[in-house]
Amino acid sequence: MSSLDPRAPLVLDTRELGRRPGSQREVTLTVPAPADLGIEVLRVPEGSPVALDLRLEAVMEGVLVTGSAQAVLQGECARCLEPISDEFEVRFQELFVYEEHQTPHDEDDEVSTLEKDLLDLEPLLRDAVVLALPFQPLCMDDCPGLCPECGARLADDPDHAHEAAIDPRWAGLAELTNEDD
Ligand SMILES: [Zn+2]
Ligand SMILES: [Zn+2]
């Protein structure tokens, strides 16, 4: 097991909370977004502020973390590639089990655990963000995408049209007709 760095922005120290079940603590903090938070087409820019609003609650088995994260998103429209930027909020809840309450199968089940008094919010935040993001972000719900012929963004030019393309089989015939003129 790799040990947690208590100075890492997303590592919380629960010592002040104590271990008496029912004991609670509210924590608000703003941390810089870790790298690669999100999906390829839509992500929280690395280093941008992530505002966390957390409630830590000691329960019998560990510490229950309930909270929300607010951040900005940047990405591009899946249809027209227009840059998108948006604010969003995700909610999450996770039980971090005390080391001595872990059972051997916990590792397989990917149970979140405390390491002494420390807990790492980063995996929780990553999962919550990825689950909340649309797989195909759009600049607007009915984005018409790009023109298949010239790549123009159709939302900027709704009446966009091209001359009907000449069927290549007729192109030779058109030349013949021109020669007759
Ligand atoms: Zn679009
Ligand atoms: Zn076009």
Q: What is the mean pLDDT of the chain?
A: 88
Near ion ligand 2, which residues have CB within 5 Å?
Answer: 147, 149-150, 152
Q: Please tell me the distance between residue 151's alpha carbon and the centre of ligand 1 in angstroms.
A: 12
Judged against a pLDDT cut of 70, whether residue 181 lies above it is answered with: no
SS3 content of the chain, % helix, strand, coil (to 5): 20, 35, 45
Average pLDDT of the segment spanning 6-15: 94
Greater confidence (172 vs 6) lies with 6
Q: Please tell me the distance between residue 69's alpha carbon and the centre of ligand 1 in angstroms.
A: 26
Q: Please tell me the distance between residue 146's alpha carbon and the centre of ligand 1 in angstroms.
A: 8
Which range of 42-56, 105-119, 167-181 scores highest in mean pLDDT? It is 42-56
- The ligand whose atoms approach the alpha carbon of 147 most closely is 2
Q: Please tell me the distance between residue 158's alpha carbon and the centre of ligand 2 in angstroms.
A: 11
Judged against a pLDDT cut of 60, whether residue 1 lies above it is answered with: no
- The ligand whose atoms approach the alpha carbon of 145 most closely is 1
Per-residue model confidence (pLDDT) at position 121 = 96
- The ligand whose atoms approach the alpha carbon of 41 most closely is 1
Q: Which residue, among 102, 109, 119, 99, has the nearest Cα to 56 in the 3D structure?
A: 119
Per-residue model confidence (pLDDT) at position 147 = 93
Listed range (29-38, 72-81, 168-177) with the worst mean pLDDT: 168-177
- CA of residue 32 relative to chain centroid, distance: 15
- The ligand whose atoms approach the alpha carbon of 79 most closely is 1
Rounded CA separation 8/2 (Å)? 14
- pLDDT, tens only, 136-159: 899 999 999 999 999 999 999 888
Q: Please tell me the distance between residue 180's alpha carbon and the centre of ligand 1 in angstroms.
A: 47
Q: Please tell me the distance between residue 47's alpha carbon and the centre of ligand 1 in angstroms.
A: 26
Judged against a pLDDT cut of 90, whether residue 169 lies above it is answered with: no
Per-residue model confidence (pLDDT) at position 108 = 61
- The ligand whose atoms approach the alpha carbon of 140 most closely is 1
* 49-58 and 37-39 beta bridge pairing: unpaired
Per-residue model confidence (pLDDT) at position 134 = 83
